[in-house]
Every structure is written in C-alpha cells, then in structure tokens.
C-alpha cells in the first residue's frame, strides 16, 4: 500500500533514472501529461517550482542531473512524487535512500485508462518474489555480522 502522504494527489512526478527511456516510454508518459526531459543547458539554473510539468525525467548518471535533484530535495521534495527508474541490479544502491525516493521501478507501468491509475502504479511498491538461495546467503551474512534475529 502506498503511504497516505504519497497518494499521487495531483503532485508532479520526478522520474530520476539511470536507465534510458525508450521512445515508447516517452509516448506513454506524454499521453498522461506534460513531460520535461531535464537538459542542463536549458534547466540547470531554472527553479523547479517555476516549471509546469506532470513528469520530469532527470538522468542521475549526469553530474548536472544529480546536482539538480539535490537542489530539489533540499527545498521542495515534499511537493513531488520521486520515483527511481533503474536496472534491476541497481535497486539496492544507496542513492535511492539518499534521494528519498517513493518507489523504485525497473520499467514503467503498462498503459492505463486513466492518468490517476497510471500514477498510482508508479507509486505502488511490488512484492518481491522469494528466493531461497538469496535468503540463505543473507541469513549467513547476518549471522556472521552478529545481527541474527
């Protein structure tokens, strides 16, 4: 369940990513609202609150993108839903916690009939499939670190 404070209640989305969006992803986002693809030459010195968008795509692989996100989270993070779009092997990276993302996804949700449904799916956390081998490894690591619970 999405926390009550993050119910996609008309707030714009910051889609921070380390994975390229396909043209079909951009078409899908544009079907639901105004999309801004962050370009440091255009937006670096523009305050985010002066921009009108439903979805802003910010590439975290670029230094300027990370800098812009840092400016936003220091002053205006509560005004936006922040969703990280990354490769599956990056899901446990530290930057998600540092930014304070509301959700981590590896691909955009499928097309929905209504924007509200699409936005809720961006925020809805998925339940991971249990993996016995991975669970055993994690248990051994916890045991060796003295954090056995």
* pLDDT at position 2 over 50: no
From the candidate CATH numbers 3.30.2010, 3.90.550, 1.20.120, 3.40.50, the one assigned to the domain spanning 4-144: 3.40.50
CA dist 118 and 7 (Å) reads 12
- Statement: the pTM of the whole predicted model exceeds 0.75: yes
Domain locations in the chain as residue ranges? 4-144
Contact yes or no for 13/55 (Cβ under 8 A): yes
| Cβ-proximal residues to 43 (8 Å cutoff; 6+ apart), any chain | 36, 51, 68
54 in Cβ contact with 35 (< 8 Å) = yes
Sheet holding 80-85, edge to edge: 35-37, 55-59, 12-17, 80-85, 103-105
The per-residue pLDDT for range 76-106, each reduced to its tens digit, is: 888 999 999 999 899 889 999 999 999 999 9
pLDDT tens digit sequence for 30-73: 999 999 999 999 998 899 989 999 999 999 999 999 999 999 88
87: closest CA among 60, 111, 67?
Answer: 60
């Amino acid at each position: 369940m999405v926390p009550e404070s993050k119910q996609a209640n008309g707030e714009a989305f910051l889609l921070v990513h380390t994975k390229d969006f396909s043209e079909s992803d951009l078409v899908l986002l544009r079907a639901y609202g105004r999309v801004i693809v962050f370009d440091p030459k255009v937006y670096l010195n523009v305050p985010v609150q002066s921009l009108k968008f439903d979805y802003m795509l910010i590439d975290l692989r670029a230094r300027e993108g990370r800098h812009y996100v840092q400016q936003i989270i220091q002053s205006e993070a509560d005004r936006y839903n922040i969703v990280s779009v990354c490769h599956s092997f990056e899901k446990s990276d530290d930057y998600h916690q540092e930014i304070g993302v509301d959700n981590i996804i590896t691909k955009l949700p499928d097309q929905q009939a209504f924007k509200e449904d699409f936005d809720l799916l961006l925020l809805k956390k998925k339940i991971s499939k249990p993996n016995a081998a991975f669970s055993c490894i994690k248990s051994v690591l916890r045991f060796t670190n003295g954090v056995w619970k």
